[in-house]
Structure 1
Amino acid sequence: MITLTRDDLSYTFLPTGDIFEFTHESTLINQFQGNPVDGSANNIYLRVHTEQGISSYPLLGIRSGSKLSHSQDQLIFEGSIEAISYRVTFAPARDGIWFWHIQLSGSGETVDVVYGQDIGVAGKGGVLANELYMSQYLDHSIWEGTNGYAVCSRQNQPQGMAFPYLQQGVVGTRAVGYSTDGMQFFGVSYKGSYVPEVLSGNLQNSNYQYELAYTALQTELMTLSVPAEFAFYGLFRPTHPAAVTELEFQAELQAAYDEIDWSAGEAVPSRDVPVLSTDIGAPYVSAQWTQAEIDAAYPNRKLEEIENGELLSFFTDEHVHVVLQPKELLVERPHGHIITTLLDKSQVDNNLISSTNYMYGIFNGQTVVGNTSFHKLLSTPRGLLNIQRNSGQRIYIRLDGVYRILTLPAAYEMGVNFAKWHYQVEDDLLTVTVFAAAGQPDVALQVQSKLGRAYDYLITNQLVMGEHEFQHPVRVEARDGILQVLPDEASVQQLPYPGLHFDIQLPGTAYTYSDDRMFYTDRQPRNGTLLTISVTQSASFQLVIQGRLTQADSLPLVSPYTPETEEALFKGFYEAFTSGFHLQLDGEEQSRIDILNETVWWYTHNAMTHFIMPHGLEQPGGAAWGTRDVCQGPMEYFLMTQHYELARNVMLKIYSHQLWESKEWPQWFMFDQHPVQAHEWHGDVVLWPLKCISDYIKATGDYSILEEQVGYHHLADALPSQRTETVLEHVKAAVETIRERFVPGTSLINYAGGDWDDTLQPADEALKTKLVSAWTVALAFQVIRNLSQVTTADAEFSASLAVMAEEMKESFRTLLIKDGVIAGFAYFQEDGSIDYMLHPLDQQTGIHYRLLPMTRSIIAELVTPEQAVANFRLIDEHLNHPDGVRLMDRPARYEGGVSTIFRRAEQAASVGREISLQYVHAHIRYLEASAKLGEADRAWEGLFQINPINIRQSVPNAQLRQSNMYFSSSDGNFPDRYSYQQNFDQLRDGSVEVKGGWRLYSSGPGIYLNQLISAILGIRFSDEELIIDPVLPASLDGLRFTYECFGRPLTFVYHIGSGPARTPELHAAGVAVTGQVLSNPYRPGAVSIAKNNLLTLPGNELHIYLAQ
């Protein structure tokens, strides 16, 4: 490493001259840590303009061919390109400034220079944990001065108490172009080509606030009839508390530049500078398949996605999703998949392996056993564009004498436990398959030539053995043909799993292993994290990764795994775990029925990944249960599918993590042996375990769970307590915390640390006690009322809860509904007066309507039928959009990222996730409220507004997205928050496109399936009863739904007539079936059948007659 320092800044370069990292104390200024093979994500490009076009040349690092020298305070890159000589000098200066000084001389060539720099500008841990998230909070502002454009980037989310700031521009010439996100600079084709798209044209001169903060600047054209001399600069400030309103620090910048001597000085040529081996060639992108080749490979297709006459993706009859290369070149978010070992049907099992793969050639990444944050074998691919090709596991194939990394295939298949890449290699077809074993924490990589042709391969693996790459030494030991990968000795002593290790085997295949040395001409190793496995002249081989949490002996595999066998085991498990779910209907709705059948299969995969191996594609870290998350998606899924034993064990684990000191729950907690949890929680978090326990008891009749002895966890060290109490005592303690938070003189629970919408955390501490969220109160009412119904064995406690619920209802109706509109928030002044916020009377935020209390108050049966109708009228008038319902009628005001009322809502610079306001989770709860009211058409259509499969058929302004992954938000395609504020109404008329947000890591898939089955198809379970309560439109007349109930497969046949809504009538084998009619305050109620009666019905069909 080469490290230059000045003041409190440290500039660390690789021996190649590429940036490894720029830091100020704990702040990481760049975003990607460079490596010797890829170089750095940053560079400076000389572009030569001729009549034939633009030729571009990197000037820095291993891919430049520059000669590197350095002095004590400068790093110098020199070389020539055609007849042009260049010299680039990197020099730290005073006042947190650095320069890239450029000298060019030539013979009249027309050139310009493009500068690109990835930026983190946040705490190093945060950037390494999730660079996408940190980029969302970097506010870029562009200012034009005497030297053209400069880009100022302020980190809006406080890093400790600071708001780091970076300014970049030029001195000595003019910057005539700029861009701010890597998507603009590299483009989606970079995933396969490794060539930045922007180099063949001009920078866009637009500010795109997205998820890869990357500043680019383009100089004006210059003619090298005389030498040119200028510099790009970076200026860092540890904090910039105010919003950026002008271009600052110009005097300091010029003074720092003027005092540097740019002559050669006493620079010393760098020794042993790595040079890339000529054995490494260009990336390999498969030829795209013709329609005839697609037909031959996949004769049976359904749910085809076609754009402009071109087939992009489809599903097969075996629930396999296939994506063709043209689609991958149209989407910003690369197609990816997470595979895991099968979970235990009854216990929470941490001894599982999980691995992430991507279509662009990550075959295994984020490969972990157990904890998804701390137990990584292989590194996580960073960013969305395949910028660092040494991440995860990659394959190089030797073609025409050089090794070429496999990137984009012709087709990419995904099954729940596998992924396949099909590469056309001349007349051969190379298929790479990655799959998870069903019964062991093993993942296998299989490579096979269709023609049986032998090739040479390199399989590179970036090892982590901890949380992040480059942080821990890794041990690799060869034993009896097994490569064992272990943490370093120091880490082992600190792990709660001291036996953690991974075994790598290639059964029946000869191989050699090394590090990264073969990538350089001198064959010397540089990157200690890279494990390279070489397989020569093989037509087929399998590499198996085995994750182990204990020091059990590693045993050689007798033979390779058979992918078809493992796939069959997964298929059998999924068919059983989904209770045999299947819908059938001939006619116009058949396509949508197919969509739902695929959705149940894939959302089960998504939900169980979120449950047992918590992480997602855009959120690779996690390893923890969000308290409110695990109490919703997973628990609702287990109850709707009658996996009661698993639900019970999850419930007890949740209660064991109640905090001893506060009797509330942390926002999130790790559920394995790692003592890690959040030290704060939002005001609604305490409610979810309480809701969960009552839902569980209502569904199962298992009152004995209240008598189970369960411990607590401590707040300070996250360790379990010695003392245990019954679950009922846990419940009583939690209820008491709710009482203690009532606003004086009311039965309204205060806001505390926030509510479900994480972006609306209060910026002012006073809001925590004086502000009330109407949504939280509605949820609290529902929870307390339901608890009163399941705790009747303690008559006094049950009665007190019933009184408490009635008092909450009275306070809600009299204090939180003003002029017929439920306020989003109510602020209680010292004199007892109320300021209504997120309400038509709100003059402070400009936001007048909030979705959450309108839907939750209906779900909870808290409001009158008249108010429920009014709620939906307001939703239709102010919150409904073509892509779903939005959380509020306007976004929170954005003024440079400085918070005044709310934190993240006013800090996020990007229009994504909750900021987009169409958070899919909330839309699903809107469907729940729709079903509660009997709004059949609304509920049915709403399912497809948020379903990724062929979404453009339901949402014409939707951009393409991955079809088998839950997306957590629908984001307006606005470049920044200011455009979003100004043009928000375009979301209502559909004139702006909407994009899919982060994928998979959400409780949403489980909730979606629960609403589909329990609320819309209307099949749910209560203590020894089946409740039938469908809310379906007339277009579904004749629908057949097969599902297992109390262990018996049944087919429900829906007969939907016209006329006023009524309680369903039931028939089996032509005979009327009687049941108990249940009440619903908003419409005719459901009917319930006793379990014993259901199990003795003649035949396997139950006919349901209803009207809509």
Structure 2
Amino acid sequence: MITFTLDESKYTFLPTGDIFEFSNGPFLINQFQGNSMDGSANNIYLRVHTAQGIESYPLLGIRSRSKLLYNHERLIYQGRIEAIDYRVTFSPAADGIWFWHIQLSGNGETVDVIYGQDLGVAEKGGVLSNELYMSQYLDHSIWEGPNGYAVCSRQNQPQGIAFPYLQQGVLQTKAVGYSTDGTQFFGLSYKALDVPQVLESGLPNQNVQYELAYTGLQTEQMKLAGTVDFAFYGLFCQTHPAVVTSLEFGSRLQEAYASIDWNLSDAVQEGETVTLSAEIGGPYVSPQWSQAEIDAAFPERKLEEYEDGKLLSFFTNDHVHVVLQPKELLVERPHGHIITTLMDDTQVNNKLITSTNYMYGIFNGQTVAGNTSFHKLLSTPRGLLNILKNTGQRIYIRQDGVYRILTLPAAYEMGVNFAKWHYKLEDDTLTITTFTAANQPDIVLQVQSKLGKSYDYLITNQLVIGEHEFQHPVRVSAADGIIRIQPDEDAWRNHPYPGLHYDIQLPDTAFNFSDDRIFFEDGKPRNGTLLTLSVEQSSSFQLVMQGRLEDKESLPLAPYSFEAEVTLYREFYEAFSSRFCLQIEGAEQVQIDKLNETAWWYTHNAMVHFIVPHGLEQPGGAAWGTRDVCQGPMEYFLMTQHYELARNVLLEIFAHQLWESREWPQWFMFDQHPVQSPEWHGDVVLWPLKCIADYVMATGDSSIFQEKVVYHYLADALPTRESESVLEHVKAAVDTICKRFLPGTALISYAGGDWDDTLQPADEALKTKLVSAWTVALAFQVIRNLSQVTGFDPEFSKSLAEMAERMKVSFQTLLIKDEVIAGFAYFKDAETIEYMLHPLDQNTGIQYRLLPMTRSIIAELVDPAQADMNLRLIDEHLKCPDGVRLMDRPARYEGGVSTIFRRAEQAANVGREISLQYVHAHIRYLEAAAKLGDAERAWEGLFQINPINIRESVPNAKIRQSNMYFSSSDGDFPDRYSYHKNFEQLRTGSVQVKGGWRLYSSGPGIYLNQLISGILGIRFTADSLIIDPVLPASLDGLRFTYQCFGRTLQFVYHIGSGSTRTPELRSEGNAVAGQILSNPYRPGALSIPASTVLALPDEELHIYLSQ
């Protein structure tokens, strides 16, 4: 490494001259840590303009032709391109400033220069944990001065107490172009071409606040008549508390620049000459399949997706999703998949192995046994565009004497436990398969030639053995054909899992292993994290990665059978999803096909979220969010009658109640790592209570209240020695709720926030004086339900019922003003209530909030007239073509400084909750619609958020991955200012909407619960089957196969137009007797004893809803 240190600034370069890392104190300035094979994500490009077009040349690092010189204060790249001599000098200066001084000499050539720099600008741990998230809060502002454009980037989310800031621009020439995101600079085509698109098109001069923060600057064109020189600069400040309102620090820059002598010093030494081996070629992108080749590989297809007449993706009859290469080149979020060992359907298993793969050629990444944050074997894929290709596990194939890394295939195939890549070769097809074993924590990489031809391969693996790459020493050993990878003993001392290790085997295949030396002409290793395996002349082989948390001996393996493992998964998923299957003939067949595929894939998504918590855009995690695990997973387990698993999860949740506060942390790790959130929002205490009430209502198992479990300490996240009954835990939690009632009311204080994380108050004083109407509605529902399941303790049950009634009165008298439920009520003093997120709100600009409107209906807290008013307000103010929004306007954004709310006013990106169409909340809207019996609304709403061929339901939706839950629908606005100005376009559908982050959410579980329990209307209590469909007449004749009380039944729906009456159940033509349940908004459900259901002679049951 070549390192320059000045004050708190540290600039570290690889021997190639590529940036490895720029830092200042605790802050990482760049985003991607470079490597000697790929170079860095940053570079400076010389563009030569001729009559024939533009030729571009990188000037820095391994991708350039530069010779490297350096001394203690500068790094010099020099060389010759055509007839142009160039010299680039990197030089740090005081006050967090650095320069890239460029000198060009030529004879009449017309040139310009494009500069690109990836940005972290946040604490290093945050950037390495999730660069996409940190980019969302990095505000870019563009300023024009004497030297053209400059880009200022301020981190709006506080890093401790700091707000890091970076300014970039040029001196001694003009910047005439700029960009701010890597998707602009590199373009989606980079995944196929491996060339930044701006080198041909130039920079777009648009500020795009997306998830790949990357500054581009383009100089004016210059004609080289002799020598010209100029410089790009960076200026970093550890904090910039105020909004950026101008281009600052001009004199500081000029003084720093003038203080440097740019003449080449004699006191320099030559850098190491590093060149890639002649045996390493460029990436291999498969030719696209013809229609005939698609037909041959997949003759039976459904739910086909097209764009301009070209097939993009489809599903098969066995729930496999296939994506073709043209679709991957259309999506910003690359197609990816997470696979894992089969979970236990009765216990929480922390010993599973999981791995993430991507269509663009990451066959395994984020590969981890146990804790998905701290136990990584292979590194996490970074960014969205496959810029650096050393992450995770990659494969090179030798063709025409050179090894080429496999990137985009012709087709990418996904099953719940596997992914396949199909590469079309000149006269063969190469299929790469990654799959998990069902009953062992093993991941298998399988490579196979269709024609049985033999090739040479390199398989690279970037090792982590910890949380992040380049941070943890690794031990690699080999014996008897087994490679063992372990943590360093000293680094791992006192670790909760001292025996953690991974073994790699290639059954029945000869191989060699080394580091990265094979990639360099001089044969020297340069990346200590890279493990390279070579396989020679093989037509088919398997590589098995085994992850174990205990120190056990590994034995040689026989090859796995892919087909056998897939069968085991299919059988498990069919049983675990209670044999879910929908059938219909006629116009609704396509929608029913969508729901069948969604039920299969959302089961996969929900279980990944539950048992190996992480997602595609959120690769770390390893923790249960308290409110998350209490919703999606628990609702799924109760809906499918996996009661033993639900019970064990509940006991784990209650064991993490905090000893000091008797509330729950926002999130906690559920293995042996003592890690949890030090804070929690005001609603978090309610979810475990709701969960246990729901569980007892469904199962009748009140014995759970007598189970004894520990607490956890807030200070060190360790369990207490003392244990108490779950009932005592519940009473302690209820007591904390009572203590938070505002004086003279039964309204619970807002505390640290509610479900919408972005609306945490900026003013700490609001925590005790603000009330969230949504939190109160949820609290009412929870306390009422708890009172109904604690009858064995009459005094406690009665107190809960009385508390619920007081909450209801307080809600209706204090939180509903002029027939509108306020989002918040600020109890300024004993006499004054200020309504926020309400038509009377004169401060925020927001007048309507979705959450209290839907939750008050779900909780049966409002009367039918108010429920009807809620729906009318939603339709008028919150409903958009892509679903309902959280509020009728976004929070104000003024450069990222918070005045009322924290993240809502800090996020520069229009994504996730900021987009206001958070899919989780839309699903709760469907729950409210079902409660009201609004069948058309509920049915339509299912498909507004269903990713399969979404444009059939949402015409302004952009293409997205079809088998992954997306957590938000984001208006395609470049920044917050455009979003605020053009918000109305979301209502008219005149702006496109994009899919947000994928999979890591409780959403898949609650979507399926609302589909089955709320809309199809099949749910359970301890001793009864509840039949309560909310279906439109177009679904007359629908058949629903589902397992109830261990018996597989088929329900046939008979639906008349405008039907609103209580359903009738018939078996073999005879009515089945049951009890009618109450519903304050419509005719109630039919409850039939489980014993009656089990005694019916026929599995085909007919549900009549006709008038």
After TM superposition, the score normalised by the length of structure 1 is: 1.00
Q: Tell me the CA shift for residue 782 of structure 1.
A: 0.2
Residue matched to 2:1000? 1001
The one-letter code matched in structure 2 to 1:802 is A
Please show how residues 468-617 of structure 1 align to structure 2 within 5 Å.
468-557=468-557, 559-617=558-616
SS in 2 for 1:1083: coil
In structure 2, distance between residues paired with 1:929 and 1:112: 59
Residue matched to 2:829? 830
In structure 2, distance between residues paired with 1:221 and 1:1107: 75
SS in 2 for 1:160: coil
Q: Tell me the CA shift for residue 73 of structure 1.
A: 0.8
Residue matched to 2:312? 312
Residue matched to 1:1078? 1077
8 Å Cα contact 1:69-1:267 kept in structure 2: no
Q: Deviations over 1:485-519 (max 9, x none)?
A: 00111222132010000000000000000000011
Residue matched to 1:940? 939
In structure 2, distance between residues paired with 1:695 and 1:270: 71
Residue matched to 1:677? 676
Q: Deviations over 1:632-682 (max 9, x none)?
A: 000000000000000000000000000000000000000000000000000
In structure 2, distance between residues paired with 1:275 and 1:446: 31
1:627 matched to 2:626? The reply is yes
8 Å Cα contact 2:21-2:34 kept in structure 1: yes
In structure 2, distance between residues paired with 1:1107 and 1:181: 56
8 Å Cα contact 2:67-2:271 kept in structure 1: no
SS in 1 for 2:977: helix
Q: Tell me the CA shift for residue 267 of structure 1.
A: 4.0
SS in 2 for 1:493: coil
The one-letter code matched in structure 2 to 1:625 is W
Residue matched to 2:638? 639
The one-letter code matched in structure 1 to 2:504 is I
In structure 2, distance between residues paired with 1:508 and 1:267: 56
Residue matched to 1:152? 152
Residue matched to 2:335? 335
Residue matched to 2:137? 137
Question: In 2 relative to 1, CA 779–163 (structure 1 residues): closer, same or farther, beyond 3 Å?
Answer: same
In structure 1, distance between residues paired with 2:687 and 2:716: 23
Q: Deviations over 1:1070-1100 (max 9, x none)?
A: 1111100000000000000001000011211
User: Can you give the 5+ residue segments of structure 1 that lack an aligned partner in the other structure?
Assistant: none
Please show how residues 187-266 of structure 1 align to structure 2 within 5 Å.
187-266=187-266
Which piece of structure 1 moves more, 1008-1017 or 19-28? 19-28
| Percent of pairs with identical residues | 77
The one-letter code matched in structure 1 to 2:756 is D
SS in 2 for 1:906: helix
SS in 1 for 2:115: strand
Q: Tell me the CA shift for residue 473 of structure 1.
A: 1.0
In structure 1, distance between residues paired with 2:193 and 2:440: 37
The one-letter code matched in structure 1 to 2:581 is H
8 Å Cα contact 1:676-1:718 kept in structure 2: yes
Please show how residues 58-137 of structure 1 align to structure 2 within 5 Å.
58-137=58-137
In structure 2, distance between residues paired with 1:491 and 1:422: 41
8 Å Cα contact 1:747-1:808 kept in structure 2: yes
The one-letter code matched in structure 2 to 1:696 is Y
SS in 2 for 1:196: coil
The one-letter code matched in structure 2 to 1:142 is I
Q: Tell me the CA shift for residue 164 of structure 1.
A: 0.3
SS in 1 for 2:490: helix
SS in 1 for 2:292: helix
- Write out the 4+ residue segments of structure 1 that deviate beyond 2 Å after TM superposition: 266-273
Q: Tell me the CA shift for residue 270 of structure 1.
A: 3.2
Give the RMSD, CA atoms, in angstroms: 0.7
Residue matched to 2:174? 174
Residue matched to 2:354? 354
Q: Tell me the CA shift for residue 107 of structure 1.
A: 1.0
Residue matched to 1:809? 808
Q: Tell me the CA shift for residue 95 of structure 1.
A: 2.0
SS in 2 for 1:227: strand
Residue matched to 2:1094? 1095
Q: Tell me the CA shift for residue 193 of structure 1.
A: 2.5
In structure 1, distance between residues paired with 2:273 and 2:1006: 55
Residue matched to 2:1049? 1050
Residue matched to 1:289? 289
Q: Tell me the CA shift for residue 262 of structure 1.
A: 0.3
Q: Tell me the CA shift for residue 684 of structure 1.
A: 0.3
Q: Deviations over 1:58-95 (max 9, x none)?
A: 10111112111111111111101010000000011122
Q: Tell me the CA shift for residue 226 of structure 1.
A: 2.5
Q: Deviations over 1:904-946 (max 9, x none)?
A: 0000000000000000000000000000000000000100000
In structure 2, distance between residues paired with 1:925 and 1:993: 24
SS in 2 for 1:261: coil
SS in 2 for 1:139: strand
Q: Tell me the CA shift for residue 611 of structure 1.
A: 0.1
In structure 2, distance between residues paired with 1:988 and 1:351: 47
Q: Deviations over 1:361-402 (max 9, x none)?
A: 000000000100001000000000111100000000000000
Q: Deviations over 1:214-261 (max 9, x none)?
A: 000000000011211000000111111011111111111111111110
The one-letter code matched in structure 2 to 1:64 is S
Q: Deviations over 1:818-839 (max 9, x none)?
A: 0000000000012421000000
The one-letter code matched in structure 2 to 1:343 is M
Q: Tell me the CA shift for residue 1107 of structure 1.
A: 3.9
In structure 1, distance between residues paired with 2:266 and 2:796: 83
In structure 2, distance between residues paired with 1:160 and 1:253: 27
In structure 1, distance between residues paired with 2:388 and 2:251: 37
Q: Deviations over 1:1040-1071 (max 9, x none)?
A: 00000000010000000124511001110011
In structure 1, distance between residues paired with 2:673 and 2:335: 31
Residue matched to 1:879? 878
In structure 1, distance between residues paired with 2:719 and 2:971: 44
In structure 2, distance between residues paired with 1:5 and 1:470: 20
Which piece of structure 1 moves more, 185-194 or 599-608? 185-194
1:708 matched to 2:700? The reply is no
The one-letter code matched in structure 2 to 1:41 is A
The one-letter code matched in structure 2 to 1:721 is T
User: Can you give the 5+ residue segments of structure 2 that lack an aligned partner in the other structure?
Assistant: none
8 Å Cα contact 2:50-2:110 kept in structure 1: yes
The one-letter code matched in structure 1 to 2:797 is S
Residue matched to 2:373? 373
SS in 2 for 1:381: coil
8 Å Cα contact 1:354-1:369 kept in structure 2: yes
In structure 2, distance between residues paired with 1:542 and 1:957: 44
The one-letter code matched in structure 2 to 1:161 is I
In structure 2, distance between residues paired with 1:494 and 1:216: 46
SS in 1 for 2:493: helix
Aligned residues: 1107
In structure 2, distance between residues paired with 1:261 and 1:271: 21
In structure 2, distance between residues paired with 1:38 and 1:686: 48
After TM superposition, the score normalised by the length of structure 2 is: 1.00
8 Å Cα contact 1:71-1:266 kept in structure 2: no
Q: Deviations over 1:315-352 (max 9, x none)?
A: 00010000000000000000000000000010000110
In structure 1, distance between residues paired with 2:780 and 2:1090: 30
In structure 2, distance between residues paired with 1:1041 and 1:6: 69
SS in 1 for 2:304: strand
Question: In 2 relative to 1, CA 1085–128 (structure 1 residues): closer, same or farther, beyond 3 Å?
Answer: same
Q: Tell me the CA shift for residue 306 of structure 1.
A: 0.9
Q: Deviations over 1:987-1038 (max 9, x none)?
A: 0000000000000000000000000000000000001110000000000000
In structure 2, distance between residues paired with 1:723 and 1:195: 61
In structure 1, distance between residues paired with 2:966 and 2:432: 27
The one-letter code matched in structure 2 to 1:822 is I
Q: Tell me the CA shift for residue 192 of structure 1.
A: 2.9
Q: Tell me the CA shift for residue 427 of structure 1.
A: 1.5
